[in-house]
Amino acid sequence: MTESGNIWIRMHGLLTRFLNMSEFTHFDERGRAVMVDVADKDDTRRIAVASGRIRMLPDTLTRILGGQAAKGDVLGIARIAAIQATKRTAELIPLCHPIALTRVGVEFSHDVGESWVACEVTAETVGKTGVEMEALTGVSVALLTIYDMCKAVDRGMRMTDIRLLEKQGGRSGHWQAERQA
């Protein structure tokens, strides 16, 4: 429903007001969900980098780093899960376009003192739409995989700070997030 330039959309029983629907590319002028038309966009090289962390008990991190987790090589399996997830993003996120990825990189780091593992995923393609969602999905699934493989010893693990760090390519060009301390 529209009212003096505002658009109201009922989602899950809640009425939400959007002031300017033109800012939301996945909604039409009536507020209905749409897949963005990318037919007229140029094919360009597109890169996205996303990251996130999983915080855990010190003993859990020790087991992961020492290869002593009961289910095996936690970070190796999480790396494969991240790559697989990037390739299946369009199946998971309803309005994402299927993308032919040209490269996916997955890196892990850790901090023993703070007891966390960080994951960074870089997704690349040459195409008409970006790969931000692929990078974010890869990070999320990598962290979920770590949780799944270690939950028997640490159900209190917390996934945090999942975010886009950088994107390159396309009409909007290069964007980089402010680095967190």
CA atoms within 13 A on the CB side of 17: 6
The residues, ordered by sequence, that sit 6+ positions from 160 with a Cβ below 8 Å of its Cβ are 52, 53, 54, 55
148 is catalytic: yes
Tokens read off for 82: 């991240």
Helix axes 132-150, 74-87, angle to 10 degrees: 150
Q: Which residue has the tokens 């970070």?
A: 75
Q: Which of 40, 148, 154, 161 is catalytic?
A: 148
Amino acid at 162: I
Catalytic residues: 148
